[in-house]
Amino acid sequence: MDKTKVGIIGLGTVGSGVARLLLDFGDRTGRHAGRTLWLEKAVVRDLAKARDCDLPASVLTDDIEEVLNHPEIEVVAQLIGGLEPARTIMLKLLESGKDVVTANKALLAQHGPELFDRARELGRSIAFEASVAGGIPIIANIGQCLSANQIESLFGILNGTSNFILSKMHEDGAAYADVLAEAQRLGYAEADPTMDVDGADAAQKLAILAHLAFGARVDWQDIPRTGIDKLDVADVRYAQEMGYKIKLLAVAQLVGDGLELHVSPTLVKAGTPLAEVGGPFNAIRVVGDAVGPLLFYGAGAGQMPTASAVVADLIDTAVGRTKITFKTLELWSNRQARVTANDYAQAKGRFYLRANVVDHPGVLAQIATALGRQQVSIASVLQHEAEEGSQVLPLVIMTHETTEGAAAKACEEIAAFKSVQGDLVRMWVRG
């Protein structure tokens, strides 16, 4: 059987999973690729560190030149996180004639245009299935399988850590900080979970999907985002009472000629498929104009699910499919900048608002008047009991359809009222 020699840079969680699939299941990759994917070199920083895979001694090295200068290594899985040295290494790999596979969403969301342009100039390819939604093959599905469609919308649960925390808050009624601590104990959250819980990780993935599905070229940092790190468990309870679950949704949908694009905690109707995605799982609902709604569900992270996506890319690259796809899709090329993001303030939807009010006559009328001034009309009001020992009453308002901007402005105005304590909570409502 023919061989394709493969290199791996970085033997952390994902890298060692990839090594295991290549080393332990060569027959399997052989069957699907019609050739052997031969792990020739794996580059690490620290040779002495214990690895989560058994490597032949000749494979491990701390010298990246052994990959760059290896004439027979054709494909390299670049599995280092962060921007540098990942970016420099990626460019060097391309310049040494290697096709690259990566799981690094931060790198692509930040430096996609540069990296893809360079790969094109050099006649090389970059595959990145693992960079979004881990084991769910969403890149191949949007980039290839749905080619006959204009994608109309894409709603994703793209961060497993946040989804695990939200699911637990719903199940146990526990506070955010307690659930986060538990998630860290169980390995579902990093020691520093900032990027996961503040929406940054989801925004990076959304930037990649929005480019692939709509041709939008956005800086992920320009995507309006709200995380779950300030979520009060009281709102989880109120949402539940009204038949909703709170999910961190990444949204990209065509509205007019532009794209509604944001990452937001959202009340999703209980019983709908996205609302029922529990634990650390991810899911993406895609609507295409020909195919209608599709849902993809699976593990969005984890060693072997992510390695599954990386190895699929290695196979695609080894057999030549990636080369074709890379060429036809022209990702991050100027030809592909087809759509831009709409002004977020114009985005339309229904909202959940909560104000903590001091109980005195006239406060509801005052709030309703402020909403009316911004043309925000009220669908329902729920006055909750004060928490024990507190004088303030949580007032929950569901609006009819309005714009993000109007809701935000009304909230700002209301927060300034003497009878209202602190900022208002504001979340999207879907379904």
Ligand X SMILES: NC(=O)c1ccc[n+]([C@@H]2O[C@H](COP(=O)([O-])OP(=O)(O)OC[C@H]3O[C@@H](n4cnc5c(N)ncnc54)[C@H](OP(=O)(O)O)[C@@H]3O)[C@@H](O)[C@H]2O)c1
Is 417 a binding residue for its own copies by CB under 8 A? The answer is no
Residue 81 interacts with ligand X (CB under 6 A): yes or no: yes
Compose the 28-47 pattern: x for residues touching its own copies by CB under 8 A, - for all others: xx--xxx-------------
Residues 321-340 that bind its own copies (CB under 8 A): 321, 324-325, 327-330
Backbone angles phi and psi of 252, in degrees to 5:
-135, 115
Alpha-carbon distance of 114 to 68, in angstroms, equals: 20
Q: Assess whether 205 carries a catalytic annotation.
A: yes
331 in a labelled binding site: no
Which partner in its own copies, ligand X, none is near 222 (CB below 5 to 8 A by kind)?
A: none
Q: Residue 350 contacts by C-beta under 8 Å, 6 or more apart in sequence?
A: 379, 398, 399, 400, 401, 402, 428, 429, 430
* Residue choice 167, 253, 306, 402 for contact with ligand X (CB under 6 A): 306
Residue 362 labelled as part of a binding site? no
Has 13 been labeled as part of a binding site? yes
Range list of H helices, 96-159: 105-122, 138-140
Instruction: Mention every residue, 6+ apart, whose C-beta is less than 8 A from residue 33.
Output: 4, 315, 318, 319
Contact 299, 305 (CB under 8 A): yes
Was 9 annotated as part of a binding site?
yes
Give me the least distance between CB of 300 and its own copies, in Å please: 11
Q: Are 80 and 10 in contact (CB under 8 A)?
A: yes
Q: Tell me which residues in 352-391 interact with its own copies (CB under 8 A).
A: none
Burial of 321 per CB tally in 10 Å (0-12, 13-18, 19+): middle
- Residue 360 in the binding site for ligand X (CB under 6 A): no
Regarding 149 and contact with its own copies (CB under 8 A), the answer is yes
**Closer residue to ligand X, CB minimum distance, 43 or 206:** 43
Helix (H) or strand (E) holding 386, with range, is none
| Closer by beta carbon to ligand X, 291 or else 345 | 291
- The footprint of ligand X (CB under 6 A) covers 9-15, 43-46, 49, 79-81, 85, 103-105, 130, 134, 301-302, 306
Binding residues: 9-16, 105, 190
Q: What residues are labeled active site? A: 205
Binding residues for NADPH: 105
